[in-house]
Structure formats: structure tokens, C-alpha cells
Amino acid sequence: MASTESEARGPRSAAPTSPPKRLFYKIGNVCDLTGTQPYILRFWESEFPQLAPQKSRSGQRLFRERDIETVRRIKKLLYEEGYTIAGARKRLEQEEAERPPEERAAPPAEEPAPSAPTPAPGPAEAAARAPRTPRGEARASRQLQRTVKSLRRELETLLRRLEPRRS
């Protein structure tokens, strides 16, 4: 007979070292699996084009296994290897370029069309709305943000140069 009650029940199973396999993980699951906070993941998403989780129709981030691997790699580069954000971004780009084509990330599948009918766009709108994947949209959005920031810095520099002439 076992001397304690816990021994009578048998050994406890250890916590799983790897996550249960799922198609998508929500941001909270990814935080638990990688030891990061949601705000860190959202920031990294804006800084690393390699990290572009899909979004559900309600706007929740949906991470795949590949995204979780990328989060772990970013965390290692920043916290363990001492890279800056820019350096880690370049390193990830180099690693992606060195991978064989069959191992590179495949573009995510397009979401099905909404069930509610939408009005047909005009010819100019249709040309501007080329179909994009969610990953491509996120990358384009980040690129647009960088361009706007760059233009703003240039304009502020020009304004500072013009200030002395106004007086």
C-alpha cells in the first residue's frame, strides 16, 4: 500500500514540452508557448516582415507553427545572441534566403469571399484592389508606414531649414 495519497494515484504526467498540434494558435497560446507578452508579439509583428500571422474576420491574430518558430528565433536573436532589431531582421532574411525553396514559407491561402454581396467597384478601384494574401497586406502596410515616417522626417528637416529664413 502506498504511504501517501499522491503515490496511490500513480505518477503525474509531466507537462507537454511541445504544444498540441493545431492549425492555428491565438496570441495568448503563442505567449504561453514562447514566454513572451502579447504587446511584444504585436511589436515584433510590426518590425519583422517574416512574422505576419493571419487575422480572423474578427481581427484576432492566428499564428501557425511556422510563426511560432519565427517568434522563438526572434526571441533567441534578440535576448540570447544580443542582436538589435535591425540586425535580427537582416539575420532572419539571410536565413530565409539560405533555405532550400521547398522549405521556405508558402504564402497563406486566401480567405473565402464574404457571404454578403458587395457593390461592384469601378475600373479604377478594381485595378487598385489587386488580390493580396493577408501576409502580403501586412507587409505592404508596414512598408507604407515606413515610407510615411521617412517622408515625415524629410519634411520636418526641410521645415527646420526654412525656420531661420522666415524671421
d(CA 141, CA 135) in angstroms, rounded, equals 10
Q: Look at residue 42 in the predicted model and tell me its pLDDT.
A: 94
- Give pLDDT tens digits along the chain (167 positions): 444 444 444 443 334 345 567 889 999 999 999 999 999 999 999 999 999 999 999 999 999 999 999 999 999 999 999 999 999 999 999 988 888 776 655 544 444 444 444 444 554 444 444 445 566 667 777 788 888 888 888 888 888 888 876 65
Helices 65-75 and 27-34 cross at an angle (nearest 10°) of 40
DSSP category for residue 101: G
Nearest to 91 by CA among 101, 69, 110, 76: 76
pTM of the full predicted structure? 0.51
Q: Which residues pair with 63 in a beta bridge?
A: 25
